[in-house]
Chain A
Amino acid sequence: MAAMSPSERRLQKELMALMKEPPAGVTVDGDQASQNLTLWTIHMEGVPGTLYEGEKFVLQFKFTNKYPFDSPEVTFVGNNIPVHPHVYSNGHICLSILTDDWSPALSVQSVCLSIVSMLSSCKEKKRPPDNSFYVKTCSKNPKKTKWWYHGMCSFIFFTINNFSKSITKRN
């Protein structure tokens, strides 16, 4: 087997960990991801007791060879895009850790957890106010959008940051 690049080695390790101990409601398509380490499909279930209980979503992760120094491109795909104030109807997610606040200490797992917590903390199911304009004008790649983060997002970022710290400590 050819020598793996640093990004491939890290993705391989993350994939193993995520398949072995997936967070509640999160499953990774392991066969697809191990065939192509740069494109992962992750199935997510709405957390019971929240507005998204019983719903199923599909997330797509795309990685460049600069990962983890470069953030992954994360979008909702498939028929069911969650109706949420930070999720556009084309699947793009407004979440600061996916662009400006990305850090190599974050991982696929912590990104999934932050999306789960973003959905779970939702009080009212509605699209972002600028949805129709954004969907018409945006680039295909959400990382090319200059996001303007609201207070809500930074709140999520801090909870997740603490979360990932506690995970690292436990390990």
Chain B
Amino acid sequence: MESKKEMRELFCFSNYKSITKFVNNLEKFFLQKKNTYLCSSNSIDMEQIDKTYLNEIKNVDNVNVYFGKTLEELKCVISDDGFREHEIFIKFSGPRKYEITKVNLPHLPYQDEVYNSINEIIDTFRNHVINLSNYFFELEQIDQFFSIMEPLHPTYKDEYRKIALDISSFSNKHHIILSEPVTTMLEKQHCAICLCEELPDNPSVPQPICQNNACGVYYHRSCLYEWLLASAGGRPPAFGVATGSCPTCCHPIACSLLEK
């Protein structure tokens, strides 16, 4: 505050008779303030920070490091004993402050902490990966031998799989190691309301919600819900279950936004 006032006085030109006087004052001002502005304890030497940061990146062992859109965003890829590659996204948010922005693994509390160095993050991440090796193996088995209905593009981050139980999954059960993988995935159905398979902001897939066996038309839960709400005059339904009739066969139908 004080220095602001001084500045205002300094630049008040009516105080000066000549330009030399102003320049002299200006010089005096800077000499006086040099200590406070340039050498105070909280002043930041950007060059020094950049050097430390780059050294830090150079010292990362056995890990491929990629830069993101800016130099402050990093992607590290480590591989485990099963030759699977795992990505972790790191953000440099200040000297000795590194944050994890994204991990393609199920969420754990360590991902929300702030770390001193990249190596510290990598070590924690590597431990997480090692602990999950059984989990990866099981998921791979499931993805290989069953028809996955949900999620549409399964990754290690999704810790659930919705599988279609058809004849092939039962016949595979007893000789799962020997059999060929199920090649014929169930044909994905589009939703009769939006005519799409995928919704941009929703991972769920169309399902045969209508109970009429002769109907068998697929809907997204959210699309059907929106229609039942609209056809009932837009009033939110009791207990979150919208009721009405099937848009295709007029059979009574009920639908909630949540999976049963």
Residues of A within 8 A of B (CB): 3, 6, 9-10, 13-14, 66, 68-70, 103-106, 161, 164-165, 168-169
Known: A10-B195, A69-B226. A164 touches B200 (CB 8 A): no
Q: How far is the CA of A70 from the CA of B226 in the complex (A)?
A: 11
Contact in complex: B196, A13 (CB < 8 Å):
yes
Closest 8 CB pairs of A and B: A105-B247, A103-B247, A105-B248, A104-B193, A69-B230, A13-B195, A105-B192, A104-B247
Known: A69-B226, A103-B248, A105-B247. A168 touches B217 (CB 8 A): yes
Contact in complex: A9, B247 (CB < 8 Å):
no
B248 interface neighbour in A68, A69, A168, Cβ under 8 Å:
A168
Contact in complex: B195, A164 (CB < 8 Å):
no
Interface size class of B (residues with CB under 8 A): 10 to 19
Q: Flag B231-260 by CB within 8 Å of A: 1 or 0 each.
A: 000000000000000111110000000000
Interface flag for B194 (CB, 8 Å) = yes
Q: How far is the CA of A69 from the CA of B233 in the complex (A)?
A: 12
Interface flag for B227 (CB, 8 Å) = yes
Interface flag for B103 (CB, 8 Å) = no
Q: How far is the CA of A74 from the CA of B249 in the complex (A)?
A: 23
Known: A3-B200, A104-B223, A104-B227. A164 touches B194 (CB 8 A): no
Known: A3-B200, A104-B227. A14 touches B195 (CB 8 A): yes
Report the minimum CB–CB distance from B235 to chain A (whole Å): 15
Contact in complex: A168, B192 (CB < 8 Å):
yes
Known: A104-B223, A104-B227. A165 touches B249 (CB 8 A): yes
Contact in complex: A6, B194 (CB < 8 Å):
yes
Q: How far is the CA of A9 from the CA of B216 in the complex (A)?
A: 23
Report the minimum CB–CB distance from B214 to chain A (whole Å): 9
Interface SS of chain B: helix, strand, loop or mixed? Answer: loop
**Closest A residue, CB atoms, query B216:** A169
Q: Can you list 11 residue pairs at the A/B interface with Cβ under 8 Å?
A: A3-B200, A6-B194, A69-B230, A103-B247, A105-B192, A105-B193, A105-B217, A105-B246, A164-B248, A165-B215, A168-B217
Residues of B within 8 A of A (CB): 192-196, 200, 215-217, 223, 226-227, 230, 246-250
**Closest B residue, CB atoms, query A12:** B195
Q: How far is the CA of A104 from the CA of B249 in the complex (A)?
A: 12
Q: How far is the CA of A3 from the CA of B250 in the complex (A)?
A: 33
Instruction: With a 10 A CB-CB cut-off, give which of A9, A14, A68, A164 has the most chain B CB atoms.
Output: A68
Q: How far is the CA of A14 from the CA of B195 in the complex (A)?
A: 8
Known: A69-B226, A69-B227, A104-B227. A9 touches B248 (CB 8 A): no
Q: How far is the CA of A6 from the CA of B250 in the complex (A)?
A: 24
Residues of A near B230 (CB, < 8 A) are 66, 69-70
Residues of A near B223 (CB, < 8 A) are 104
Residues of A near B217 (CB, < 8 A) are 105, 168
Contact in complex: B196, A9 (CB < 8 Å):
yes
Contact in complex: B200, A104 (CB < 8 Å):
no
**Closest A residue, CB atoms, query B189:** A171
Residues of A near B216 (CB, < 8 A) are 169
Q: How far is the CA of A118 from the CA of B226 in the complex (A)?
A: 30
Report the minimum CB–CB distance from B3 to chain A (whole Å): 49
Instruction: With a 10 A CB-CB cut-off, give which of B196, B223, B246, B248 has the most chain A CB atoms.
Output: B248
